[in-house]
Structure 1
Amino acid sequence: MHFFSKLIKPLLALAAAGLMLQASQGCTEAKAPAAAAPTAAPAPKPRAPGEGPRVIPLDVTEKGYEPSPISLNKDEPVKLVVTRKTDHTCATEIIMKDYGINTPLPLGEPVEIAFTPNKAGTLTYGCAMGQMISGTFLVE
């Protein structure tokens, strides 16, 4: 019996550590490193009529939505091409409440989302869990 108790305690500790590690990989708020403060890209130049929407690639990674923030022009059509590149996130869909967008993001498949920002300011988008994982558009 003494042999089994010496064997079981380390196995239980290892199993508990594994469960805690798995739980920590779930939906956690993505935080940028303290030294790398996000900077907004310069405002894009308006597109000529007939050029079509501005295409913006957006990835979902372990760090969240990247890049963010992204500068947009008010009343300029936009086509997001969103690709979820990780399973270690709760951002399995993208939600933009202001535009009625709630789109699933299958792993590894680019998803196109078209919209036109119609008011200046900060537009927030994010995951379905109260936008715990989120990003922003700066609309000028």
Structure 2
Amino acid sequence: MRPFISRIIKPWLALAATAAMVGATQQGCSKPSAPAKAEEAPAAAAPAAAAPAEKREGGVRVVELTVTQKGYEPSPVSLKKGEPVKLVVTRKTEETCATEVVMDGYGINTLLPLNQPVEIAFTPKESGELVYGCAMGKMISGVFMVE
């Protein structure tokens, strides 16, 4: 009986445990998805997002971000240290916990009402990776690469 347990049962238990762990880690902070509408195209068929066009308003760089079921888009975005930035963030989904933007070190904790653009101004102080995200420990996050 011992070889049966070792050869058959243990691999099945390992597989079940792995599947349970993967399911738990993929839940994140998103809500269950609603059934897709017939007129919507599948997400896999959508083309990859292009790099955002650079806009300026009186010496201030304007970066448009959108919150979707995939998170903050586009990400990463390149910025320059010391260059003033105005983010224009529009939340397009209720399916995630990304209902605000939190940026440590800049005092930014801004609510994002659904389908309303919100402007956030800041100036990157240090070079490197600047991570921003939701208020739930940045479970959903985006990155600015500051040069």
TM-score (norm 2): 0.63
C-alpha contact (below 8 Å) 1:53/1:76 kept by paired residues: yes
CA distance in 1, matches of 2:94, 2:82: 34
Percent identity reads 69
Which residue pairs with 1:5 in the alignment?
A: none
Which residue pairs with 1:27 in the alignment?
A: 29
**Which ranges of 4 or more aligned residues in structure 1 deviate by more than 3 Å?**
none
Q: Which amino acid aligns with 2:106?
A: Y
User: Is 1:111 aligned with 2:118?
Assistant: yes
C-alpha contact (below 8 Å) 1:77/1:115 kept by paired residues: yes
C-alpha contact (below 8 Å) 1:26/1:90 kept by paired residues: no
Mapping 1:17-56, distance limit 5 Å? 27-28=29-30, 51-56=58-63
Which residue pairs with 1:75 in the alignment?
A: 82
C-alpha contact (below 8 Å) 1:25/1:89 kept by paired residues: no
CA distance in 2, matches of 1:52, 1:104: 26
Which residue pairs with 1:12 in the alignment?
A: none
Give ranges in structure 2 of 5+ residues lacking alignment: 1-25, 31-47
SS of equivalent to 2:130: strand
Q: Which amino acid aligns with 1:27?
A: C
Give the count of matched residue pairs.
104
1:51 CA displacement: 3.1
Q: CA 1:25 to 1:61, structure 2 compared with 1: closer, same or farther past 3 Å? A: farther
SS of equivalent to 2:105: helix
C-alpha contact (below 8 Å) 1:95/1:103 kept by paired residues: yes
CA distance in 1, matches of 2:27, 2:119: 27
TM-score (norm 1): 0.66
SS of equivalent to 2:67: strand
Which residue pairs with 1:57 in the alignment?
A: 64
